[in-house]
Amino acid sequence: MAKQSLSNKANSNSENSDQDEPDNESTDTQPEKPGEMTPDIDAGFAQIANERIARHPFRYYFLMPARRAHSLWFNTHSDFYPFDGNALPLNNPEHSPGQNFWLPVFAVIVAIYTLLGIAGFIWMAMSGAFYARAVVLMIFLIFATRLVLFSMAVSVEPRYVVEFFPFLSAAGGIAIVEMLSRLKRGAVARP
């Protein structure tokens, strides 16, 4: 008897629930899902963002893009390896031993590429050759425009600047050859 009345209640509840639910065609507003971004919430965030920009325009237009450019350039660029992450802090207990080893190695490689590339570009610019200066200017403009463009974007990824490294390696090779030739000239001059 009790089972029968429970099943009758369940059937009547299911019938009533079908009647209580509004049809999608009859109403324009859908019920909000938890965590859903509504236009009101979006407008509230836009207002907060506009207020912050108005209070600190220098920070928004210059400091934040400079920080993004720095993080784009000096990232370990290890996103597609099994040990991706941040190199700092060193020996992070949350990292695996592979991460604690490879992330600093990649950071040092990026620093070496950068220093050798800058040395090569400086040597090329100071060489006096018109073509060398033109190449340095062209590469600088490629780097600057791409770095500025992507540092102004809200979500940036280090893969956007991977194209710089062939230029840096070529300029680094020029710097290494120039340093070795200067060392040889210095050794020959001192008999």
Higher pLDDT, 87 or 21: 87
> What number of H helices and E strands is found in the chain?
7, 0
Q: What's the whole-number mean pLDDT along residues 104-123?
A: 89
User: Could you write out the DSSP letters of every residue in 80-149?
Assistant: TSTT-S---STT-TTS-HHHHHHHHHHHHHHHHHHHHHHHHHHHHHHS--HHHHHHHHHHHHHHHHHHHH
How big is the CA angle at 150 (ends 147 and 155), to the nearest 5 degrees? 145
Percent of the chain with pLDDT over 70: 74
pLDDT in tens, 38-78: 999 999 999 999 999 999 999 999 999 888 888 888 877 77
Q: Output phi, psi for 162, to 5 deg.
A: -65, -25
How long, in residues, is the chain?
191
SS3 34: coil
53-57 CB contacts, 8 Å cutoff, 24+ apart: none
pLDDT in tens, 123-151: 999 888 899 899 999 999 999 998 888 88
Asked if 72 and 151 count as a contact pair (C-beta separation under 8 A), the reply is yes
Higher pLDDT, 22 or 159: 159
Compute the distance between CA of residue 66 and CA of residue 155 in angstroms, rounded to an integer.
Answer: 14
pLDDT band at 28 (very low <50, low <70, confident <90, very high): low
Q: What's the whole-number mean pLDDT along residues 90-96?
A: 68
Higher pLDDT, 88 or 108: 108
